[in-house]
Amino acid sequence: MTGVADLSGTDQVVVVGAGLAGAHCASGLRRGGWRGRIVLVGEEPHAPYDRPPLSKQVLLGKADDTPLDIDFAHLGIELLTGRRATGLTPGVLHTDGGDLPYGALVIATGAAPRVLPGAERAHLLHTLDDALALRALLRPGLRLVLVGAGWIGAEVATAARAAGCRVTVVEAGPAPVPGALPTGIGRAMAAWYAEAGVELRCDAAVAAVEPGAVLLADGSHLPADEVVVGIGVRPATGWLAGSGVELDAAGAVVVDDRLRTGLPGVFAVGDCANYPSARTGARLTVQHWDHALQSGQAAAASVLGADAPYDPVPYFWSEQFGRMVQYVGRHDAGDELVWRGSPQDPTWAVLWLREGALRAVLTVDRPRDLTQARRLVERGAVLDPARAADPSVPLKAAVAG
């Protein structure tokens, strides 16, 4: 990679994408000592805000917005909202509101929700406006069908049930969170849907969304006053076509371990970046809050000349059906899976080991396990599987030897 910033022609740093990653990159630049102009460009009309509360506090009516605690004006950061990136040529970001020259550019355009073919009438939940519009529809007795039993699907189902809706969740996979978690763990989570009064249909593909109903591939119809689709996201990088910025097969921007692209002075962060992780031995595209925060700050340091690799322990959380689910690390299909407690217990966890070394942990209402696991994963600690499986033994006390 050759993404070293050349600010000889202009001292302007442009950050394109005003989500969490972009906002923290811009503020990190100023707080790190950058004295030149900083321009933060966002497609939405709103100032940067936090997305995780959209499916929680906003849908539940506990908040109307979720602004970030960053005073852009005080920091001297020029915020351009309602500006969409349309292309990139060396030294110039093209937008629908005019061109912006740069000495360094940080790509932070995030990801966009995947659209389900045949479900054009359905709602998505990605922006603040999406959340406010959906909240206005939720009411007692509303027949809501959610397509996708992933993290967003479960969180929206939680809020919809709290609003008194009649909720059905349709999942094409064999259990909730397919792909991200083994089927056995997903099936343990399926019980939460029934406890909350949510009908969960797995192995059920959607053929089309019709007025007043969802048509499944098996020919059955589900009555639906409203439909929400939550089947994942894709990097929002279509605007980079022809720019010379390398994208991977999924459309994420390929960067090195300093978050530099192959173009001089161009970096990428957050949901749209694919970076090499020495810790996991793989290239990662992580689309969660913690990565957005950390990568934004790391890119600011790289622009300022720091030479430290970016390789944090991945982390995310989800609040669903009255439970706090947290995950740290990264597992692969070949890792040894160890249950820590039982899914029938009020709290439990799952560990993934590779040759005894702790690779990843999923916890359900076990914050102490999560805190200890993060440190153990970071240092690659080897655990005694029998002791680690005992929920009464602190994880740090299960270290072998």
Express each pLDDT in 330-373 by its tens digit: 999 999 999 999 999 999 999 999 999 999 999 999 999 999 99
Whether residue 10 is predicted with pLDDT greater than 80 in this model: the reply is no
Angle between helix 289-303 and 20-31 (nearest 10) = 30
Express each pLDDT in 200-243 by its tens digit: 999 999 999 999 999 999 999 999 999 999 999 999 999 999 99
Whether residue 1 is predicted with pLDDT greater than 60 in this model: the reply is no
Task: Examine the domain organization and report whether 246 and 102 are in the same domain.
Answer: yes
311 lies in some domain = no
Whether residue 6 is predicted with pLDDT greater than 60 in this model: the reply is no
Band of residue 2 on the pLDDT scale cut at 50, 70, 90: very low
pLDDT for residue 163: 96
Task: Examine the domain organization and report whether 213 and 361 are in the same domain.
Answer: no
pLDDT for residue 11: 86
Task: Examine the domain organization and report whether 165 and 219 are in the same domain.
Answer: yes
Per the prediction, the chain carries an average pLDDT of 95
6 lies in some domain = no
Among 229, 252, 280, give the residue marking a domain's end. Answer: 229
Any idea which residue has 């809501």 for tokens? 144
DSSP symbol at 47: P
Task: Examine the domain organization and report whether 224 and 239 are in the same domain.
Answer: no
Q: Which CATH number does the domain housing residue 62 bear?
A: 3.50.50.60
Band of residue 121 on the pLDDT scale cut at 50, 70, 90: confident
Whether residue 5 is predicted with pLDDT greater than 80 in this model: the reply is no
Residue 93 CB: number of other CB atoms within 10 A?
A: 25
d(CA 96, CA 90): 18
Task: Please give the backbone phi and psi of residue 260, each rounded to the nearest 5 degrees, phi first.
Answer: -95, 135
363 lies in some domain = yes
Task: Examine the domain organization and report whether 244 and 161 are in the same domain.
Answer: no
119 lies in some domain = no
Any idea which residue has 């605690």 for tokens? 69
121 lies in some domain = no
pLDDT for residue 120: 80
Task: Examine the domain organization and report whether 65 and 92 are in the same domain.
Answer: yes
Task: Examine the domain organization and report whether 243 and 224 are in the same domain.
Answer: no
Task: Examine the domain organization and report whether 136 and 173 are in the same domain.
Answer: yes
Task: Examine the domain organization and report whether 86 and 175 are in the same domain.
Answer: no
4 lies in some domain = no
- Bridge partners of 161, per DSSP, are none
Task: Examine the domain organization and report whether 46 and 101 are in the same domain.
Answer: yes
d(CA 61, CA 50): 16
Q: Which CATH number does the domain housing residue 360 bear?
A: 3.30.390.30
d(CA 77, CA 116): 38
Among 229, 245, 280, give the residue marking a domain's end. Answer: 229
Rounded percentage of the chain residues whose pLDDT exceeds 90: 95
The number of distinct structural domains making up the chain is: 3
Express each pLDDT in 11-59 by its tens digit: 899 999 999 999 999 999 999 999 999 999 999 999 999 999 999 999 9
Task: Examine the domain organization and report whether 90 and 107 are in the same domain.
Answer: yes
Range of the structural domain that residue 364 is part of: 322-398
Express each pLDDT in 183-212 by its tens digit: 999 999 999 999 999 999 999 999 999 999
92 lies in some domain = yes
Mean pLDDT in residue range 313-331: 96
Task: Examine the domain organization and report whether 225 and 238 are in the same domain.
Answer: no
Express each pLDDT in 250-291 by its tens digit: 999 999 999 999 999 999 999 999 999 999 999 999 999 999
Two structure tokens written together for 386: 């029998």
pLDDT for residue 118: 78
Beta strands in 264-393 (DSSP E): 266-268, 273-277, 282-284, 315-320, 323-329, 336-340, 348-354, 357-364
DSSP symbol at 398: G
312 lies in some domain = no
Any idea which residue has 């909730």 for tokens? 176
Among 205, 229, 253, give the residue marking a domain's end. Answer: 229
